[in-house]
């Protein structure tokens, strides 16, 4: 298996490079597709949002125009003036003819759009006319909840008043009366002939009939939702996810989300079992609500949590004329479904490419390995033979290296390696200006030793002397080589003449101390050596000069009687012997 892995490694380098390039390209492609998908999602949401806003503006504008026509009706103005007089005089006008006439007129006018009621609000903000006697003479609910909107009407504006809780029980779809039902109003000023605001006329509308239905038309997909909220972040339209909110305990089973849900971030996905640690009124508003209420409509392309804690994409706005915020949102999982599908396809294709690419490399190698195993069944020794041949080849390489750089007799460096090393060290010394020293060693009277003891014994002495020289130097940077015949050389980089002379003296002493018999020597009865030492430094010297100096010193050592060390002096060949 290890052999197979080793053989697979090299052929798969190119396929792996190819796969890596494909992976990087697909990564960039997926990133681009994701970014483009998010931009398209926001564009779609923004389009729906603008359409929803335009629909609300058209609907509210149409209703306000109708209300303005009613408020400018001379009969309405006259009746309102009468009611204001009796109101200001603290008179009881519950059974007055003016109130009954006004109610009759308003019932007729409200029937056109099936409106739920009306108010005429005096400047002191109390109700002077309504369909219900219980509202008469009391502070109007609009002034309690949406005072700023009512202030605008008394300044002469026609105003849409967002959803609030009704102050009286209202009839539901089933015909039952229920308190605190959502309601909304449109309001217009009633003016006298001088253009002064006498009072405010409002119509009570059912938010579930038009306002919420318009936002519900802005839904896209299975999870898309368009909804409105007020400046406190309170939901003022119907929620698409009432069943979610009930199942998670956000609202009761008999409640609706409108006016019961604050557009706040629960901190986690309620639909996946997350339990908020804060009550709804203490949670921060969602990113969307926070930005919309502050007027920040900058495009936001990333997902955020909605009031259910579900990650959604959204677009939002704040409409100052209507006094409401609008948003269109869709669950991130659904919005990115196409991208997720595209990513799955791309990753699947990439996986297939990887498998095919590796298969085209590995399968042939696998079959090849099977064939080799079949062959090994017929020749069990094939692998061993290959290993033996490999060992032989390595041995041959070692032998070739030995022949090239190692002296076969003594086992130390040969002249070729010596010359290469000396040249290299000289070049280095010229750059560093460090000295280089050279020691040349010659075995005294070696010819007489060979002639009398035989060449075999002479070879033994050569090996012993070579070993002694090699053992004398402790530095790995020093090179001991056989120069030729009975001559040896020691190359010593970064060594001055004093250090080189010291080592040469040590070598001479070691050889003499061994007491190898040599009865035919004219210097002693044992084998001895003569040594020449030279040292050079500076940018201009060369290996030839160094060798000549060391050789001259060796010659002087022989002339002086052998068995001594001579250090070359450039002025004279001075003898520094250590007999």
Positions marked catalytic: 486
Calculate Rg over the CA atoms of the chain: 54
Tell me the C-alpha distance between 463 and 468, whole Å: 9
Tell me the C-alpha distance between 313 and 305, whole Å: 9
Q: Do 8 and 362 touch, CB atoms closer than 8 A?
A: yes
Tell me the C-alpha distance between 131 and 115, whole Å: 12
Tokens, residue 351: 């996986």
* Positive or negative: CA dihedral 227, 229, 235, 237: negative
Tell me the C-alpha distance between 533 and 440, whole Å: 7
For 236, 304, 401, 404, the CA distances from 397, given in Å and listed in that order, are 91, 70, 6, 10
Question: Which of 255, 257, 252, 262 shows the shortest CA–CA distance to 240?
Answer: 257
Tell me the C-alpha distance between 553 and 573, whole Å: 6
| Helices marked H in 121-187 | 141-145, 147-154
| Helices marked H in 285-414 | 287-294, 332-335, 337-378, 382-405
> Hey, how many other C-beta atoms are within 10 angstroms of the C-beta on 196?
9
* Look-up of token digits 């002064």: 196
Q: Concatenate the DSSP letters of all residues of 222-279 into one string.
A: TT-EEEEE-TT-BB-S--TTHHHHHHTTSS-TT--STTT-B-B--SS-GGGT---SS-
Q: Do 104 and 76 touch, CB atoms closer than 8 A?
A: no
Tell me the C-alpha distance between 507 and 468, whole Å: 7
Question: Which of 313, 244, 236 shows the shortest CA–CA distance to 274?
Answer: 244
CA torsion 194→200→203→207, rounded to 10°? 120
51 Cβ contact list (under 8 Å, min separation 6): 218
For 18, 29, 38, the CA distances from 24, given in Å and listed in that order, are 10, 9, 21
Q: Do 474 and 560 touch, CB atoms closer than 8 A?
A: no
């Amino acid at each position: 298996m290890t052999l197979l892995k080793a053989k697979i490694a090299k052929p798969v380098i190119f396929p792996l490079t190819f796969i890596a390039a494909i992976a990087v390209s697909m990564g960039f492609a997926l990133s681009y597709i994701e970014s483009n998908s998010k931009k398209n999602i926001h564009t779609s949401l923004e389009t729906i949002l603008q359409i929803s806003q335009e629909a609300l503006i058209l609907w509210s504008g149409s209703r306000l125009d109708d209300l303005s026509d009613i408020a400018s009706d001379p009969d309405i103005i006259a009746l309102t003036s009468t009611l204001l007089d009796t109101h200001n005089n603290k008179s009881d006008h519950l059974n007055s003819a003016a109130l009954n006439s006004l109610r009759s007129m308003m019932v007729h006018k409200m029937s056109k759009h099936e409106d739920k009621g009306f108010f005429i609000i005096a400047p002191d903000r109390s109700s002077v006319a309504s369909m219900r006697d219980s509202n008469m003479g009391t502070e109007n609910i609009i002034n309690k909840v949406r005072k700023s909107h009512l202030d605008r009407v008394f300044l002469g504006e026609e105003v849409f008043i967002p959803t609030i809780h009704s102050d009286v029980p209202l009839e539901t779809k089933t015909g039952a009366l229920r308190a605190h039902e959502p309601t909304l109003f449109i309001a217009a000023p009633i003016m006298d002939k001088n253009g002064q605001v006498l009072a405010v006329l409002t119509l009570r509308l059912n938010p579930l009939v038009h306002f919420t239905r318009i936002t519900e038309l802005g839904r896209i997909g299975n999870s898309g939702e368009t909804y409105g909220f007020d400046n406190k972040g309170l939901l003022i339209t119907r929620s698409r996810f009432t069943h979610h909110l009930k199942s998670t305990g956000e609202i009761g089973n008999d409640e609706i989300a409108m006016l019961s849900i604050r557009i706040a971030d629960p901190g986690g996905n309620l639909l996946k079992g997350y339990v908020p640690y804060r009550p709804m009124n203490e949670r921060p508003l969602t990113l969307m609500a926070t930005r919309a209420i502050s007027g920040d409509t900058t495009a936001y392309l990333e997902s955020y949590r909605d009031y259910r804690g579900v990650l959604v994409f959204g677009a939002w706005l704040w409409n100052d004329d209507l006094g409401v915020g609008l948003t269109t949102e869709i669950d991130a999982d659904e919005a990115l479904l196409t991208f997720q599908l595209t990513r799955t396809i791309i990753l699947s294709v990439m996986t297939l490419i990887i498998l095919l690419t590796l298969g085209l490399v590995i399968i042939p190698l696998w079959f090849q390995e099977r064939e080799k195993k079949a062959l090994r069944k017929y020749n069990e020794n094939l692998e061993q033979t290959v290993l033996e041949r490999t060992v032989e080849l390595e041995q041959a390489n070692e032998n070739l290296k030995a022949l090239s750089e190692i002296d076969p007799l003594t086992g130390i460096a040969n002249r070729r390696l010596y010359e290469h090393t000396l040249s290299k060290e000289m070049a280095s010394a010229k750059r560093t200006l460090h000295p280089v020293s050279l020691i040349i060693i010659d075995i005294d009277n070696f010819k007489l030793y060979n002639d009398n003891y035989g060449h075999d014994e002479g070879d033994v002495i050569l090996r012993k002397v070579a070993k002694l020289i090699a053992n004398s130097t402790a530095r790995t940077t020093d090179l001991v080589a056989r120069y030729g015949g009975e001559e040896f050389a020691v190359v010593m980089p970064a060594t001055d003449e004093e250090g080189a002379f010291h080592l040469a003296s040590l070598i001479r002493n070691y050889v003499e101390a061994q007491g190898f018999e040599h009865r035919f020597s004219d210097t002693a009865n044992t084998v001895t050596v003569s040594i020449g030492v030279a040292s050079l430094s500076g940018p201009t010297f060369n290996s030839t000069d160094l060798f000549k100096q060391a050789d001259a010193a060796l010659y002087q050592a022989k002339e002086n009687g052998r068995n001594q060390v001579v250090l070359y002096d450039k002025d004279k060949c001075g003898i520094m012997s250590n007999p």
